[in-house]
Amino acid sequence: MRELTARRFAVVELGSRDINGSVRPLFAGQDYTGVDIAPGPGVDVVADGATWGESGAYDLGLCLEVLEHADTAPEIVANLRRLVRPGGLTIITCATDPRTPHSAVDGLTVKPGEYYGNVRPADLIEWLHGCTPIAIEIDRALGDLRATAWQPA
């Protein structure tokens, strides 16, 4: 099994705005860059997660509870993979059926004009094609979909 070493490492989180909690404190002491399309707590860079950033600049890429809110989910995953160096780790969590639609603004009802679409596990697997290995976990009771994937070396 591959491991992240004790050395300082670079983390990027696409969709980092803290709406109902953040994983950022888990990476204290690391080089952490939070990217989101809107300013707010946890955001270092306001930019589109589907296109922003430098290839291979990060050891760990995170995209947590974002993809169901983005009509560009495949592009966000492709960009996250581009941002993570060869041999680096990508972690994704998102909603899948039967999770109830919810707003990216406040977690409540989807606002008029706001995109929402639960992610199908087959789609996430397709978007991560080429990573080795890919671990997918589906919790159908809660509508949770989680993936970890190592970028090809």
pLDDT at 3 over 70: no
Q: How far apart are CA 131 and CA 42, in angstroms?
A: 28
pLDDT at 68 over 90: yes
Cα–Cα–Cα angle for 38, 113, 81, nearest 5°? 50
Domain ranges, ordered by start, for the chain: 10-150
Q: Which residue has the tokens 């589109």?
A: 48
Give me the CATH topology for the region 10-150.
Rossmann fold (3.40.50)
Cβ proximity of 56 and 153 under 8 Å? no
Residue 63 pairs in a beta bridge with 92
Amino acid 153: pLDDT: 86
Sequence-distant (6+) residues with CB within 8 A of 140 are 96, 97, 98
pTM greater than 0.85 (yes/no): yes
> What SS3 state is found at 87?
strand
The CB density around residue 76, as the number of other CB atoms within 10 Å, is 22
95-144 per-position pLDDT tens digit: 999 999 999 988 899 999 999 999 999 999 999 999 988 999 999 999 99
Average of per-residue pLDDT values in the chain: 94
- Where residue 148 falls among pLDDT bands split at 50, 70, 90? very high
9-45 per-position pLDDT tens digit: 999 999 999 988 999 999 999 999 999 999 999 999 9
pLDDT at 1 over 50: no
Q: How far apart are CA 39 and CA 19, in angstroms?
A: 11
Structure tokens at 34: 């939070």
Amino acid 133: pLDDT: 83
The CB density around residue 12, as the number of other CB atoms within 10 Å, is 29
First-to-last CA distance in the chain?
14
